[in-house]
Chain A
Amino acid sequence: MSVLREVLPDFSWWSGADKRREAASGIAGAVLVIPQAITFAYVVGLGPEYGLYCAAFVALVSSLFGNSAMVGGPNTALSILLSIAIMPHAGRGSPLYTEYVLLLSLMVGVVQLALWALRGATLFRYLSPAAIGGIKIGVGVLLITSALEGTLGVSGLTMQFFHEKFYVVLASWSEIVNPYAAAISAATILSALRLKRWLPRAYIIVAVAIGAVVGWVIDGVVGPVQSQVELLGRVVFDPLPLRLLTVTTEHLAVLEELIPNAVAIAVLGLAQSLVISRDLKTRMSPSVDLHKEVFAQGLSNVVGPFFSSFAGSGSFNRTSVAIEMGARTPLSGIVAALAVVAIAWGLGPFLTHLPMPAIAAVLLLVGAGMIQWKEIRLYARSRVDATVCGVTVFTVCFVGLEAGIVVAIVTSVVFFVASASRVSLDITRDGDTEHIAVRGNLFYASIDGLVGHLRAHPATRTTLDLRAVPYCDSAAIAAIDMIRRERNQQGGRLDLVRGDVTGIAAAA
């Protein structure tokens, strides 16, 4: 019964929704997502229309089946991971590449549905906010680095580490930087920074428009041959891009290799979506069902590839804009998805001469927006958080995003275990009777301290107060049992004051 409630679209929010506000925020969201979608499609290595398909169809399914105001669609980190995964197997942007991206996206959806069946939403509780913050900062650095070439009109810088790119650009800027491209991206970035306060919803669109006008003037005065500014090209938007995915034996060999990538992308997508929806649940809509959100994400990525969409997930920046504009239900996401189709269909012809430096500038802004000083200062206050966040950022930047996710999960768990294994012993003495109140979890990693103390004071009569022990595993029970037997042989005593810990009760 509860499974059915998670699987079927649920329109119980309909009656409570403020339709006018939801629609307004949806349309603003559509305007916001279009430059992002084109940029993320560029990051994936596909034509701009694929990003728009993702912003329309993945977002539509995830809002239709979800139950929060979270906005889905193309996502920075997922886009980077998709391109990293497919690049070795096919020429960037070729029909085969497109097919592989869509098949990988389908695999991501299937993995996410499997995680839903395994109750994945609970799993992501262990990914600490600091680790997610670290991933976000690392992705921001990667985005800024990858936008560097586009904004400056430099082509094909391939380096092993991200900082080398900055060095090359700084060291030989006079030879490799295209001044026209740099002017266009500077116009876009400066106007975005200036307009952010006045037009918090539409400033990216206006900034891109200003960059485009600067580009058109440059194009008109010196001509495209002289300026060498890369243009977007015609966006061929099909409002119903149905696609049948074919899988041949040759595909299968490649797809098998892609399974780890699919798992990594699925986990990262769900992690981001769940961070967002958990945030929404605690802040404004307690009725949000996280399992239902996981199902909606998985389903959107399973359905998406059949509409030529690559894998997406919840978006931090677009959700926060939607919430700011008053969205509280999935209605705004549904309106946004439909508006993307309408706008992209009508706007397509005007996008042809959009200069790429303006789009790369958006990428730079999105990347910079992911590095929040406020968050960094928050993490810096705790040593554990600072370590988890720092290690994650370092790994993402120097080893790669996939490794960064693994490191984020591992360090979160390690520090969680470390903090959980802290046991305090409150020792009071009364003559030769020792009273030890234990506070904390007793398990394989934390039992050593207690055992060491008991061994060091063998002859005394000891009462062990376990009422403040919430959890005790078999290793701890065995150890306490052994100590008690030793005490009995030596003529001493070990008494237990039992709490709810069932294992100890049996041993006693």
Chain B
Amino acid sequence: MLLVGLPLAVAARPTIEELKARSVLDDYESNVLHGYDIVMDTPRHAPRYSGNRLSCTNCHLAGGTTPDGLPLNVAGLYPRWRAKNGVRNGIGLRIRECFLYSHNGVMPPADAPEVLAVAAYINYLSEGEVIGKPPKHWGVPTLTGTNQDPNPAMGEMVYRRACVSCHAADGSGVGSAPPLWGPASYSAGAGMNNVQKAAGFIWANMPLGAGRSLTQQEALDVAAYLHLQGRPVDPRDGRLRKLAERFVHWLGGLTGRR
């Protein structure tokens, strides 16, 4: 009973560098390190399920440690209900869906070692957070300072001015900057393909290292521009069915013109 009033003595969490320097790791620590490696370089450390050139850290900035940059200290929020799939999501399902949607890959099985490792890393980042309470600067900020509808034409001008030096004119990315559209980028089912979310992410974090230098309207416009670019289809749609729909549409166009 006495203990209740005392502050919890939380042992300082070892940094990733400290973990890497250790000669002996327990099961949890080795999974944390494996998860960190996967988050930092997904195509290399989780090649089996990754389908494009993106790494987790491209959106969950700095390995999921950046406030307002989709931080990963969210283990306490799961399991939670999500509108995206309409079921109660454990952290494992959440991670597996990231492989399917954002990495445009193959959904790993629930017991895939890659999933367990990333879950361990997320758990590690969440130490000290309160279960059930959203951490501060969770996700991306919601933009309230926009006063016009998103304008992709304006967005293209913003892109050419502020983004093109890292992400290239064709959106394929230069060096460590990720591809923003095209076959090597996220699919149409990814969270980043949501204009509001992408706008909040861009405003708070882009250009990298100079976050909040664009106006909120500019961020919204550039997000709309990205949304219009070609990218892999949403895995919720069957590719064949999509193709057939397009074919029927095209046929309808031909007959309509006559």
Please judge, given known A-B contacts A220-B238, A222-B238, A223-B237, whether A231 and B107 are in contact too, CB under 8 Å: yes
Residue of A nearest to B48 (CB): A233
Which chain B residues in 227-258 approach chain A with CB under 8 Å? 235-241, 243
Q: How distant is the Cα of A233 from the Cα of B24 in the complex, in angstroms?
A: 31
Which chain A residues in 222-245 approach chain B with CB under 8 Å? 222-226, 230-236
Stretch touching chain A among B2-10, B26-34, B131-139, B176-184: B26-34
Which chain A residues in 198-255 approach chain B with CB under 8 Å? 217, 219-226, 230-236, 248-250
**Which one of A94, A95, A223, A248 lies within 8 Å of B238 (CB-CB)?**
A223
CB distance from A353 to the nearest CB of B (A): 7
Stretch touching chain B among A85-93, A415-423, A456-464: A85-93
CB distance from A404 to the nearest CB of B (A): 26
Chain A residues with CB under 8 A of B116 = 91, 94
Chain A residues with CB under 8 A of B49 = 233-234
Do residues A94 and B31 form an inter-chain contact, with CB atoms below 8 A?
yes
A 284-313 to B, binary, CB cutoff 8 A, 1 in contact else 0: 000000000000000000000000000000
CB distance from A311 to the nearest CB of B (A): 21
User: Residue A431 at the B interface, CB < 8 A?
Assistant: no
- How many A-B residue pairs have C-beta atoms within 8 angstroms? Tell me: 82
Q: How distant is the Cα of A439 from the Cα of B131 in the complex, in angstroms?
A: 82
Residue of B nearest to A47 (CB): B48
Please judge, given known A-B contacts A224-B107, A225-B235, A234-B48, whether A95 and B241 are in contact too, CB under 8 Å: no
Chain B residues with CB under 8 A of A221 = 238, 240-241
User: Residue B69 at the A interface, CB < 8 A?
Assistant: no
Do residues B24 and A248 form an inter-chain contact, with CB atoms below 8 A?
yes
Residue of A nearest to B111 (CB): A92
User: Residue B16 at the A interface, CB < 8 A?
Assistant: no
User: Residue A452 at the B interface, CB < 8 A?
Assistant: no
Chain B residues with CB under 8 A of A234 = 47-51, 105-106
User: Residue B157 at the A interface, CB < 8 A?
Assistant: no
Most chain B beta-carbon contacts within 10 A, residue among A96, A219, A233: A233
User: Residue A424 at the B interface, CB < 8 A?
Assistant: no
A 467-480 to B, binary, CB cutoff 8 A, 1 in contact else 0: 00000000000000
User: Residue A488 at the B interface, CB < 8 A?
Assistant: no
**Which one of A90, A155, A222, A225 lies within 8 Å of B27 (CB-CB)?**
A90
Do residues A97 and B113 form an inter-chain contact, with CB atoms below 8 A?
yes
Which chain A residues in 309-348 approach chain B with CB under 8 Å? none
CB distance from B23 to the nearest CB of A (A): 7
Chain B residues with CB under 8 A of A249 = 24
Do residues A96 and B30 form an inter-chain contact, with CB atoms below 8 A?
yes
Do residues B100 and A225 form an inter-chain contact, with CB atoms below 8 A?
yes
Q: How distant is the Cα of A220 from the Cα of B23 in the complex, in angstroms?
A: 48
Chain B residues with CB under 8 A of A217 = 240
User: Residue B98 at the A interface, CB < 8 A?
Assistant: no
User: Residue B208 at the A interface, CB < 8 A?
Assistant: no
Chain A residues with CB under 8 A of B109 = 155, 230
A 140-184 to B, binary, CB cutoff 8 A, 1 in contact else 0: 000000000000000110000000000000000000000000000
Q: How distant is the Cα of A220 from the Cα of B243 in the complex, in angstroms?
A: 9
User: Residue A352 at the B interface, CB < 8 A?
Assistant: yes
Do residues A353 and B106 form an inter-chain contact, with CB atoms below 8 A?
yes
A 348-373 to B, binary, CB cutoff 8 A, 1 in contact else 0: 00001100000000000000000000
Residue of B nearest to A218 (CB): B238
Most chain A beta-carbon contacts within 10 A, residue among B50, B109, B113: B113
Residue of A nearest to B108 (CB): A233
Which chain B residues in 175-230 approach chain A with CB under 8 Å? 189
**Which one of B50, B110, B238 lies within 8 Å of A156 (CB-CB)?**
B110
Q: How distant is the Cα of A92 from the Cα of B189 in the complex, in angstroms?
A: 30
User: Residue B112 at the A interface, CB < 8 A?
Assistant: yes
Do residues B24 and A93 form an inter-chain contact, with CB atoms below 8 A?
no
Chain A residues with CB under 8 A of B50 = 234
User: Residue B56 at the A interface, CB < 8 A?
Assistant: no
User: Residue B140 at the A interface, CB < 8 A?
Assistant: no
CB distance from A15 to the nearest CB of B (A): 45
User: Residue B91 at the A interface, CB < 8 A?
Assistant: no
Q: How distant is the Cα of A163 from the Cα of B117 in the complex, in angstroms?
A: 33
CB distance from B193 to the nearest CB of A (A): 15
Chain B residues with CB under 8 A of A224 = 100, 106-107, 235
CB distance from A89 to the nearest CB of B (A): 9
Do residues A223 and B111 form an inter-chain contact, with CB atoms below 8 A?
no
Please judge, given known A-B contacts A223-B236, A231-B106, whether A93 and B241 are in contact too, CB under 8 Å: no
Q: How distant is the Cα of A97 from the Cα of B27 in the complex, in angstroms?
A: 10
A 404-432 to B, binary, CB cutoff 8 A, 1 in contact else 0: 00000000000000000000000000000
Please judge, given known A-B contacts A233-B48, A236-B47, whether A352 and B27 are in contact too, CB under 8 Å: no
Give the A-binding residues of B (Cβ under 8 A).
Answer: 23-24, 27, 30-31, 34, 47-51, 85, 100, 105-113, 116-117, 189, 235-241, 243
Given A94-B113, A95-B34, A352-B106, 6 more A-B residue pairs with CB atoms under 8 Å apart are A93-B113, A94-B30, A97-B113, A223-B239, A232-B106, A235-B48
